[in-house]
Amino acid sequence: MRTPLNPPGVNPPRGNYVQAVVVSAPTLVFVSGQVAMDEDNNIIGKGDIEAQARQVFHNLRVVLEAAGSSLQDIVMWTIYDTNVGDHMETLNRIGREVMGGVFPASTKVGVTRLSHPDYLVEIDAVAVVRSRPQPAVEQG
């Protein structure tokens, strides 16, 4: 079970997040930071925050679905952004679109650079698992 929490006595959220998410579930999935790279190791949207954000959310969705979860089951994410001021409107708009109004607890961190100079945004997440995960792929 996933219950969003915005209690009185603290500032109300001003973006796509809630102050906390209370979870009572048997299984969680912890998703590593996802970047704008496709399954063939191509960087998507060099210099284009919208294209990169869409690829990041696509990657999150694919990983979560393989784990028996979904974007709407995310209870906490951290967004690492190379230009918080310029990217905020785009990331908020795409976040509202893909999350369907269900927002997690959130931390946004402004960074000077990610693991590759062409990455503009990276998101890691924790989500509730609702069904049996797909079989694991061996690491090589």
Whether 133 maps to a domain, the answer reads no
Q: What is the pLDDT of residue 136?
A: 60
Side by side, which strands form the sheet with 121-128?
Answer: 28-34, 121-128, 74-81, 105-110
**Parent domain of 110:** 2-128
Does the pLDDT of residue 138 top 60, yes or no? Answer: no
What is the DSSP-derived secondary structure letter of residue 16? S
E strand residue ranges, 54-140: 74-81, 105-110, 121-128
Whether 138 maps to a domain, the answer reads no
Q: What is the pLDDT of residue 76?
A: 96
Provide the number of structural domains found in the chain. Answer: 1
Distance CA 110, CA 108 (A): 7
Query: Domain with 18 in it: what CATH number?
Result: 3.30.1330.40
Residue 73 buriedness (CB in 10 A; 0-12 / 13-18 / 19+):
buried
Whether 134 maps to a domain, the answer reads no
Give the tens place of pLDDT for each residue, 8-39: 888 888 888 888 888 875 789 999 999 999 99
Whether 16 maps to a domain, the answer reads yes
48-72 mean pLDDT: 96
Distance CA 30, CA 119 (A): 21
Whether 21 maps to a domain, the answer reads yes
Q: What is the pLDDT of residue 83?
A: 98
Whether 137 maps to a domain, the answer reads no
Distance CA 119, CA 38 (A): 12
Residue 127 buriedness (CB in 10 A; 0-12 / 13-18 / 19+):
buried
